[in-house]
Structure 1
Amino acid sequence: MNTLGRSGVEVGPLAFGGGGIGNLYTAVTDEQAHEAVAAARRRGIRYFDTAPHYGLGLSERRLGEALRQYPRSGTTISTKVGRRLEPADGIGDDLANGFAVPATHRRVWDFTADGIRRTLEASLERLGVDRVDVVYLHDPDDHAEQAFREGYPALEELRAQGVVGAIGAGMNQTALLTRFVEDTDVDVVLCAGRYTLLDQSALTELLPAARRRGTSVVIGGAFNSGLLADPRPGSTYNYAAAPPELLGRALRLKSVAEGHGTTLRAAALAFCAAHPAVASVLVGARSAAEVDDCAEQFHRPPPPSFWRELRETGLLPPEAPVPADRTEEPS
């Protein structure tokens, strides 16, 4: 287990992302969602992440229901604030925002102190818990000043009151996350899609800053929304059709992996976990089968020869840490 910053909150190296059980893109049943969470528990996963944004609260409700049968102690739950849910007319669906659910609510961007507290209170009710372990400011890209001026101090106060154990920010970019690391006392940042086999932009400033400051990093989007899980024509990269050059690069990575008796999925997960600033790798799953596959891939890392070939062929920069760097260190 790894501790998030100086918070005392512990997470395992592999975590469960709750977007899928919030009906991301396509619907899953309550039973399938609960089976996915049960599979994660069976595989030793104890850190579960969700957000009000995921299915307009559906992910939080399903996660809370599924975890209710397990001891709260030893389970780490994170959720997010910044999108407050307000009742809507329920006409139509939420597919424009990526979720196959009825449009029962609308999202309101709100990083005010009051909005943070109200959003968290609603999340606790949906989850059926009296506290969560981690709260992230969720995607404050276009609301940065309000997030720093009002949202972050509100989280600091909630942490001091013991309502939450650790606080941070979660985004799909590195610049603003680096600012959170350098200018605040966040315990952790969640960086999605910016530290993968195809995109190492977090390596330039964010990860070094996190190391200097003792801030933990959780990596999401290890598969870049699908391309690194199954590269083929039509695969998605950052939730859109993959550009031809990136598809070609992913196919080359897959070919090298297979040549070393491993899989691209295993390599993608192992790469994210190898950086010393990274406390956990967050993988979204919508079924027990997906959870089982991710766990199996995570625990079968590629051999050192695979990483050597990636560096020798220019598919990976030499400064990016890989698992083989640790195994090959002199004793």
Structure 2
Amino acid sequence: MVDLGHAALGAWGGGRFMHFGRPLDEEEVVELLRPDDRLRTVITADVYGAGDADRVVGRAIAGRPRDEVRLVGAIGHDFYDGERQGAKGFPRFTSPALRGPEGYADYLRRACEASLERCGTDRFDLLLLHNPDRIGYTSEAVWEGLVALRDEGLTGGLGIAPGPANGFTLDVLTCLDRFGDEIDWAMLILGPAEPWPGRLALEACVQHDVRVLTRVTDYGGAFWGDLTPQTPMGEWDHRRFRPDGWIERAGRLLREVATIGAARGLTPMQVAAQWTLAQPAVACVVPTLIEELPAPEGVEAPAPRPILEKRAELAALPREQRLTTAELDRITQLGDNSGCMALKGASPVFEGDEQPDGWGIGTPQLEAARRWGIDPDRELVKTH
């Protein structure tokens, strides 16, 4: 199984493709994503910028020996034949409007080879199925197509990356139970401010020998310390969809985490990362690197931190665990977010026609819930 290191860089950072904070220009993104001896892994997704992120990542890794870089790709949204659906983005390649199961393998090969060409390399170290719909989690044709790419050397390993929003717990469990022998990594939303529902899938990852890399460990940038309620957010900033009061909640947790970190020589972001790395199966964190927009003139707020300063802080994350068991438990208690939001994927409260990011619970999901001791009606619903 490929070693990604304990921290990695994601092409969604820097605001150029995912609209977080100040959008960096291309040269700045290249510098941000350039791997080195401490941050060797770079993660891209072909749909970001409809291929443009791959090209930028290719520039970032160019000139460095390939065996010194860990390159992770992600495919799943069809921007070749599909039409963008506004804020929902491009459709999944498994959409019945685009193709049936007989076309899945050809699409996966086409998308993988095109992404590799843009990245300027001949193989991924890890290839993720990006934001699958229900079909992606359950289709043998999808996973046979992915396995073929691995067996032919286009990737060293395979994984799954649920999203884009929080949830998909039963779907991940169902996928692991059916295809876990072929899956090396799972990318989950997980951090001290959002332990739920991601932690519900960790035991299954342990049992299936699947490693976890986590995104949004920074909780929308809050753990970097320069996000306040006064921080402006652009029209397409995804954080605008978070519930009211989330920044204030983050601030209360940040103060507690800062106190713990000060005693251990860790920044709040590094505490968040070490808490996450202490969870079962978690082996790598990929926080979002954001350079916040400055507050309006006359509004008192901390100045935005330069994004390369945040990168340096991530690179300095100690590999050895410095937090005590009591401190880890204290952070878990403080950050508990159980029942705070409606979840995506298979849901006991879903109604209506199946959507690309939401559907009702079927027999496979119910069986997975029973196997892993989860009560969907109690543990996978919004309660407050």
Normalised by the size of structure 2, how large is the TM-score? Answer: 0.67
| Aligned counterpart, 1:49 | 43
Indicate the larger mover: 302-311 or 136-145: 302-311
Between structures 1 and 2, the one with greater strand share: 1
Give the Cα–Cα distance (whole angstroms) in 2 for the partners of residues 246 and 285 of structure 1. 19
| Aligned counterpart, 2:253 | 253
State the 1:265 CA deviation.
1.5
| Aligned counterpart, 1:321 | none
| Aligned counterpart, 2:70 | 76
Aligned length: 293
After TM superposition, the structure 1 = structure 2 runs for residues 206-217 of structure 1, keeping only pairs within 5 Å, are 206-217=201-212
State the 1:61 CA deviation.
0.4
* Letter of the 1:76 counterpart: R
- 1:269 and 2:273 correspond: yes
Whether the 8 Å CA contact 1:266–1:301 is kept in 2: the answer is: no
Unaligned runs of 5+ in 2: 95-103, 291-306, 337-384
Give the Cα–Cα distance (whole angstroms) in 1 for the partners of residues 308 and 242 of structure 2. 27
State the 1:239 CA deviation.
2.8
* Letter of the 2:120 counterpart: G
Give the Cα–Cα distance (whole angstroms) in 2 for the partners of residues 232 and 273 of structure 1. 26
Whether the 8 Å CA contact 2:189–2:216 is kept in 1: the answer is: yes
Give the Cα–Cα distance (whole angstroms) in 1 for the partners of residues 335 and 288 of structure 2. 24
| Aligned counterpart, 2:53 | 59
Q: Identify if the C-alpha distance between structure 1 residues 246 and 186 changes in structure 2 by more than 3 Å, giving closer, same or farther.
A: farther
State the 1:53 CA deviation.
1.6
State the 1:255 CA deviation.
1.6
| Aligned counterpart, 2:146 | 155
* Letter of the 1:107 counterpart: F
| Aligned counterpart, 1:27 | 23
Whether the 8 Å CA contact 1:218–1:278 is kept in 2: the answer is: yes
Whether the 8 Å CA contact 1:180–1:186 is kept in 2: the answer is: no
- 1:186 and 2:174 correspond: no
| Aligned counterpart, 1:107 | 90
Whether the 8 Å CA contact 1:177–1:189 is kept in 2: the answer is: no
* Letter of the 2:63 counterpart: Q
| Aligned counterpart, 1:282 | 286
Give the Cα–Cα distance (whole angstroms) in 2 for the partners of residues 133 and 109 of structure 1. 23
Normalised by the size of structure 1, how large is the TM-score? Answer: 0.77
* Letter of the 2:93 counterpart: D
* Letter of the 2:28 counterpart: Q
Give the Cα–Cα distance (whole angstroms) in 1 for the partners of residues 82 and 110 of structure 2. 17
Q: Identify if the C-alpha distance between structure 1 residues 48 and 179 changes in structure 2 by more than 3 Å, giving closer, same or farther.
A: same
| Aligned counterpart, 1:116 | 108
Whether the 8 Å CA contact 2:257–2:331 is kept in 1: the answer is: no
Unaligned runs of 5+ in 1: 1-7, 99-105, 318-331
Whether the 8 Å CA contact 1:224–1:238 is kept in 2: the answer is: no
Indicate the larger mover: 176-185 or 121-130: 176-185
Match of 1:140 among 107, 118, 132: 132
Question: In structure 1, the residue corresponding to 2:60 is in which secondary structure?
Answer: helix
| Aligned counterpart, 1:324 | none
Whether the 8 Å CA contact 1:273–1:280 is kept in 2: the answer is: yes
Q: Identify if the C-alpha distance between structure 1 residues 135 and 228 changes in structure 2 by more than 3 Å, giving closer, same or farther.
A: same
Whether the 8 Å CA contact 1:19–1:284 is kept in 2: the answer is: yes
Question: In structure 2, the residue corresponding to 1:224 is in which secondary structure?
Answer: coil
| Aligned counterpart, 1:315 | 334
